[in-house]
Structure 1
Amino acid sequence: MRRVTELIAERASEHGRLAIDTEFVSERRYQAQLCLVQVAVPDADGPEGVRTEVLDPLDATVVLDPAPLARVLADPAVAVIMHAGRQDVAILRRTWDTDITNLFDTQVAAGFLGFGNQEGYESLVRNALGIKLKGGEGFTRWDKRPLTEKQISYAADDARLLLTLGAELESRLAEEGRLEWAREESLLVQASRDERSPERAYERLPKLARLDAGQRAAAWRLCEWRERLAREADRPPSYIVPDQALVELARRRPRDRAALESIRGLPQQTLHRRGAEVIEEIKASRDDTPPPAAPPAPRRDPTEAPLVSLAQAVVRHRSMESGVAPELIATQSELSALVGAVRRGTDRSSVRALDGWRRELVGDELRELIEGRRAVSVDADGGLRVAPA
């Protein structure tokens, strides 16, 4: 199998292109399990000039050496084509110990060409290439062996057409002058990770701001305990204790089994098998230094709501003109942040609408609108007009 991955890597380096897709199972697991990797590279000797391989990391009869492909994925001279690649990137980064440095995501690209912001793969292939995929195998037991011929054929088709789809969308984007926009937006997908940690779990707890110092110490210790057990059992942390129940444990800090049984949402298997551990962790937290209180959420000025609505209208107007999906340009919360930053003169470095391709498309216009230097009106045809005030 090393020879196969070496040949694919050689073709990818030679032509500067590689399409890659994965199949994985994440249900009831601590982290998603990589079950299959499908790759396609340009190859004059392959069918229709493409070589496609389906690599099976779970096949006990074959030793898969991903090192040659891992090096190619990290090579900035090789364009890596994926569709909706956040999970693929994260899984490959973790399991193959590699980075992806030149990603072109076809779902991201579709958002710049009028296809919508979350266009599915089958729909995009049909609309962009005029090819109808067989489908039907996407949500199957990819972790069960042996795989069926239908599963293998489905996986191979995905990768083969992904290479063609990437080339087609790149060509269209280049014609529209938006290829660099799509590459810039793909950087966000390229940075995806799926590592878990107690710190991240703690920060995402609901109603964290309502906990006092002692309760925060208990919540922190319970997050560490839950993460350790979930990793050992290869189960989602929520299988041990759901977030809502963990916060309630931290809030009440039960001292005995009777008090523990009154916690709503605590799984029965945890109560019966781990109840004593939970009580002991909570007891130990009383001597811990609590994490700092969460900063208060920024208060929204109700007088800014009309300005946010006005900004939304301008975004939708430019979306209709350009064909770029409005959700890709700016969400309502992002526009609220923009309005607040401009009005109050606060730091704008984290406001996405004022950076990169968004700034070029509409960001500067929005800033000037909020500053009162641009005005919005309705033209004679009933359309929106944005002009200097």
Structure 2
Amino acid sequence: MQELQTEVDRLADMAKAEGRLGLDTEFMPEGRYRPLLCLVQIVVGEHVEVLDPLTATFDPTPLAEVLADPAIEIVLHAGRQDVAILRREWKTTFTNVFDTQVAAGFAGFSAQAGYNGLLHDVLRIRLPKTASFTRWDARPLTEEQIKYARGDVEHLMPLADDIQRRLSERGRLEWAREECVVIAEATDERDPNEVWRRLPRVSGLDPKERAVAQAIAGWRERTASKEDRPVGAILRDPTVVELAKRAPSSRRDLAQIRGITPDVVRRRGDDVMAAIELGKQAEPIKLEEGDRSPTEAVDGPVIALAESLVRSRAQEAGLAYELIAARADLSPIVVAARRNQPEPDVRTLRGWRRELVGEELLELLAGKRTIHVGQGGRVTVTPVD
């Protein structure tokens, strides 16, 4: 124990001296409410250490302080879940994150580039992925698993260095760092009173039904957390929506709902009925304007036109399109322009995205510019005379 704690302290001191630390985690999400943290791999300089939180008792505070230190860059790849798990398990925050997957999208690679593929494309290194789906919660770990875990961070710093060099040459490094702030804020904490908003087809429910859906989904979330089980193992999403629509008033009626098995009626029937009754007594929930999907048939071609402009500018800038916009971003822009409403608060109209294409898109939708295909197939936008 003392030896491990000494290594943890040493890693923290090294990171402070280096001003940089790379990390990855291995976790098991199956059969649990939240993923179980199984390994934490740390790299500082060329030194790699694999920490095992399942078989060792150590105080992560020195490393947690490093992760929260804005003077120390934390390098990860596709690190949203790593950040969320360590935020919860180590009671820490992240302030200075560089995610190589996010950054790669600004360097002309796919915004969803996998670590192995990116290593090959950038550094011409291939790593075996033989242990990807092994049981990380089983002990003892095999030599294959340990080698795999080490491999996930051994080349992380050279990869980050190369991507940062490419971005600096293109003047895109600060854009990438801005985008990595979202990764630094990742969390897997969920508000039981808000999870109903992620239910399928929830916008099709009326205000009273939404209140029932909120109550049932909230009960399900708290139950899953207490029992450490996936929410779908308590009740599946379609069943929650159907319960909200039908609001059964007896256990007999409850048993007629698809997805409500006899075992659910026996073990959880009273709790489900209590949640339904709570929802019935609650204030009906009216959707805010931003929660609706206000597009009409006329918007489809305009959204496609907007997408073509964004894709063209992304290609010219050497950026992954997904970093700039998605249909969920473009639809409210198009609808607001059609209705002469204020600009929606979407990422495409903020910061560097607005500079790259957002302003141009707004002028196009306002009829102040025209779009056509120019020489070489380039999409050209010109002012209206």
Question: C-alpha separation between the residues in 2 aligned to 1:260 and 1:215?
Answer: 16
* Aligned: 1:233 with 2:236: no
- Which residue in 2 is equivalent to 1:254? 248
Describe how 1:287-366 pairs up with structure 2 within 5 A.
Answer: 288-295=281-288, 297-348=292-343, 350-366=345-361
* Aligned AA (1:81): V
* Aligned: 1:22 with 2:30: no
- Tell me, which stretches of 5 or more residues in structure 1 are unaligned? 43-49
* Aligned AA (2:370): A
- Tell me, which stretches of 5 or more residues in structure 2 are unaligned? none
Change (3 A) 1:311 1:57: same
Pairing partner for 1:52 from 40, 48, 51:
48
**Deviation at residue 26 of structure 1 after TM alignment:** 0.8
Question: 2:332·2:344 contact (CA, 8 Å) conserved in 1?
Answer: no
Question: C-alpha separation between the residues in 2 aligned to 1:31 and 1:310?
Answer: 41
| Deviates further, 312-321 or 24-33 | 312-321
TM-score using structure 2 length: 0.92
- Which residue in 1 is equivalent to 2:13? 10
Question: C-alpha separation between the residues in 2 aligned to 1:368 and 1:115?
Answer: 29
* Aligned AA (1:33): L
Change (3 A) 1:321 1:271: same
Question: C-alpha separation between the residues in 2 aligned to 1:207 and 1:309?
Answer: 24
Query: What whole-Å deviation, never above 9, does each CA across 1:111-154 have from its counterpart, x for those lacking one?
Result: 11121110011000111111111211111111111111111111
Question: 1:220·1:291 contact (CA, 8 Å) conserved in 2?
Answer: no
* Aligned AA (1:8): L
**Deviation at residue 57 of structure 1 after TM alignment:** 0.4
Pairing partner for 2:374 from 352, 371, 379:
379
- Which residue in 2 is equivalent to 1:46? none
- Which residue in 2 is equivalent to 1:92? 86
Secondary structure of the 2:370 match is strand
CA RMSD of aligned residues (A): 2.0
Change (3 A) 1:268 1:26: farther
| Deviates further, 240-249 or 91-100 | 240-249
Query: What whole-Å deviation, never above 9, does each CA across 1:182-214 have from its counterpart, x for those lacking one?
Result: 001111111111112321222223343454565
Query: What whole-Å deviation, never above 9, does each CA across 1:8-65 have from its counterpart, x for those lacking one?
Result: 11111111111010111111111111111001011xxxxxxx1100011001xx3121
The percent of aligned pairs where both chains have the same amino acid is 47
* Aligned AA (2:303): V
**Deviation at residue 285 of structure 1 after TM alignment:** 4.8
Query: What whole-Å deviation, never above 9, does each CA across 1:151-202 have from its counterpart, x for those lacking one?
Result: 1111111112112211111111111110001001111111111112321222
- Which residue in 1 is equivalent to 2:165? 171
Question: How many residues align structurally?
Answer: 379
Question: 1:81·1:104 contact (CA, 8 Å) conserved in 2?
Answer: yes
* Aligned AA (2:334): V
Question: 1:24·1:142 contact (CA, 8 Å) conserved in 2?
Answer: yes
Query: What whole-Å deviation, never above 9, does each CA across 1:250-307 have from its counterpart, x for those lacking one?
Result: 3323233321221101245322322233234434555x33352223614224333333
Question: C-alpha separation between the residues in 1 aligned to 2:195 and 2:376?
Answer: 52
Question: 1:208·1:294 contact (CA, 8 Å) conserved in 2?
Answer: no
**Deviation at residue 349 of structure 1 after TM alignment:** 5.5
Secondary structure of the 1:381 match is helix
- Which residue in 1 is equivalent to 2:270? 276
Question: C-alpha separation between the residues in 2 aligned to 1:285 and 1:199?
Answer: 11
Change (3 A) 1:131 1:207: closer
Question: 1:56·1:64 contact (CA, 8 Å) conserved in 2?
Answer: no
TM-score using structure 1 length: 0.91
Change (3 A) 1:293 1:135: same
Question: 1:242·1:266 contact (CA, 8 Å) conserved in 2?
Answer: no
Pairing partner for 1:113 from 107, 117, 138:
107
- Which residue in 1 is equivalent to 2:72? 78
Change (3 A) 1:66 1:271: same
Question: 2:208·2:284 contact (CA, 8 Å) conserved in 1?
Answer: no
Secondary structure of the 2:155 match is helix
Question: C-alpha separation between the residues in 2 aligned to 1:334 and 1:248?
Answer: 30
**Deviation at residue 328 of structure 1 after TM alignment:** 1.5
- Which residue in 2 is equivalent to 1:193? 187
| Deviates further, 270-279 or 28-37 | 270-279
Secondary structure of the 1:142 match is coil
